[in-house]
Structure formats: structure tokens, C-alpha cells
Amino acid sequence: MRTKQLAVRPLTPTLSPEYEGEGDKTDLRSDRGDAPRLRRVRVPAMNAVNPRPLIMDALLHAENLDFSYGDHPVLRGVTLHLAPGEIVALLGPNGSGKSTLLRCLFGNLAATGAILWEGKPLPAWRRRDLAKRVAYLAQSPAWEPEQRVADVLRMGRAPYLQAFGIESPKDIEVIGQVAAALAITDLLDRPLHTLSGGQRQVVFLGRCLAQEPRALLLDEPNTFLDLRHQVDLGRRLKDLASRQGIAVLMASHDLNLAGMFADRLLLLENGKIVADGPPTEVLRPELLSRVYGLPMERVEPADGKVYVFPKIDAEGERETGPET
């Protein structure tokens, strides 16, 4: 099948704001290093939640991360790992550190501790090379009203663009494939300001996929999506993980959708991981009641999934949660 040539406006070859850390200067003119080979990483101990020694082929390994905004600590001794083809959901109340953790893992914030991508310390990565492996979707991505959908997708190819921002046939092919996969081909010539919030969110996800990453860091990707599109997104991420081995680490406020599609859940409370495991182990009413400050109940239908809900009394008021 012939690939349709997309009419894409000239674009300066620069990485989107999500790619660049504060004070980092991205050089798009040279790209001499080959992708580092995946190597075996020995993790001495995860943390108090999961203290078992672990040996794994780690795509991402972070250990003992701390981060503070001024005198306010946000992350406290966070340790986690992410394997190829794995979907992990970050759960926790507002202010528990989910977004900050994702930004630290991508290098947009500087945490203390160790962060390794493919066994290589985060500071040793050139930003262009890291952007070929890891795509980050912020909670509220910056966008220009008159920017076309095709141009947004093309920004995902920035790490691969040749001199003067000239796209290759491969770049055009990838953009077309991503647009088809997300069912947004008919939107390619539309300016962003003419789209709904949910449509824009799908376009921003497309920009991430255009990077052809090995890992996705997604900060509440369901923002602005209706229920059907939230489920579609979960299925799409599951397919990317199973078919292409893409690892997904995403922050979410929807406990049940996270439990449906994620292999593991990480529950954050005041910047600490208080639970790390499969949904059946993490979605426990007594634990969630303490973390979220309201009583929870759990339903276990015959499909093997678990679902949790806040308890509501007969008058429609929630019952009083545990004191914190």
C-alpha cells in the first residue's frame, strides 16, 4: 500500500517543552551514539513495601528518590522499576507526588537518588537520545491555537529530523501510521483550537507515539476523555505493551480503570510508596480508606477483576472516613 504524502508545514527542528529539562540545550546536529544495549541490573532491595532482592532486565530503575519544592518535601525515598511491556499506574490523592515523580524520571526536575534508563544514569543521556527512548505527556501540554494536528505529530519526530528540519520518508510514514492508529487522519489539517479537549488529548498522545519510544510516561492521560475514549485508551496502551513491548508508567485518579488495564499499581501517600503490586493486592479497602481519607468498599465479580467504591450512606452523604 502506498503511503500518502502529508502536506506538513516547515517546522524548526526543536524538541517540544516536554523534552527539555530546565537549562538544557538540545543539539540536534549530531547523533553519533548507538542505542545502549539492555543490560542486567541488580537491585539490592526495593523498599519496605517490596523488600525482596530483584534481578531483572530493567528498562527503568529508580532508587531512593527525594525531591522538595523549597522546604516542602514531595518525594521521600521512592524506589521503583519498569520492565519492557509492563503497564504500571501511579495512584494517590492530589499532592501525593505522582506528577513530580514523572517529571523527575524524565529529567525535567532534579531529584536526589539514582535514575537509570537502560542501565545508563539519567544525567549521562543526551536529551535527543533519551527522547528516542522515552516519551513524556504532561498533564497540561502547551499548545498553539493555530498549530495543525500534522505539525503536532511531526514534533514527535524532532529527535530524528535531519538538518534544517527536513523530514525523511520514514518520518512521513510514521506520522501517517500514528494518525491512522488513533483514528485522527481526518484531523491532520485542522488547527488545534478547532478540536475538543478530548481530541487534543489524543493528538498529544499521538505526538508521543510518533517518537517511537520504548517507554511512555503519561501524566493523567485520561484528562478530557469521555468514558468510551478512556476505555479505548486503556486498550490501546495494553496493545502497545503486548505487541511492541512498550513500557507505560502513568498517573491516574481512576482506581478502577487503572486496575483493569495496569499490571501493577503503585500507591503514593505523602511522597512515599505505600503499596506496590497487582491490582488485587493494592486495591484493598482498608488501605485506600487510610490513604484517601474516606471509607471504601470492594466488589469482586466472577471475572477476576476487583472494583472499589467510596461508601455512601442512604442520604447520599459519604460516611466519615478514618482520622488522619
Encode the chain (324 residues) as per-residue pLDDT tens digits.
Answer: 444 444 434 333 334 444 443 333 333 333 334 443 333 333 333 343 443 344 357 899 999 999 999 999 999 999 999 999 999 999 999 999 999 999 999 999 999 999 999 999 999 999 999 999 999 999 888 889 999 999 999 999 999 987 777 889 999 999 999 999 999 999 999 999 999 989 999 999 999 999 999 999 999 999 889 999 999 999 999 999 999 999 999 999 999 999 999 999 999 999 999 999 999 999 999 999 999 999 999 999 888 889 999 998 766 555 555 544
Q: Alpha-carbon distance 108 to 286, whole Å?
A: 35
pTM comes to 0.80
Q: Alpha-carbon distance 19 to 13, whole Å?
A: 13
Terminal CA-CA length for the chain = 61
The per-residue pLDDT for 317 is 58
Kindly state the DSSP code that residue 139 receives in the 8-state scheme: S
Q: Are 262 and 83 in contact (CB under 8 A)?
A: no
Q: Alpha-carbon distance 274 to 282, whole Å?
A: 9
Q: Alpha-carbon distance 95 to 80, whole Å?
A: 19
The per-residue pLDDT for 316 is 55
Residue type present at position 310: P
Q: Are 257 and 234 in contact (CB under 8 A)?
A: yes
3-class secondary-structure state, position 56: strand
What would be the CATH architecture of the domain defined by 37-283?
3-Layer(aba) Sandwich (3.40)
- Give the rounded distance of the alpha carbon of 247 from its chain centre: 9
* Range list for CATH 3.40.50.300 in the chain: 37-283
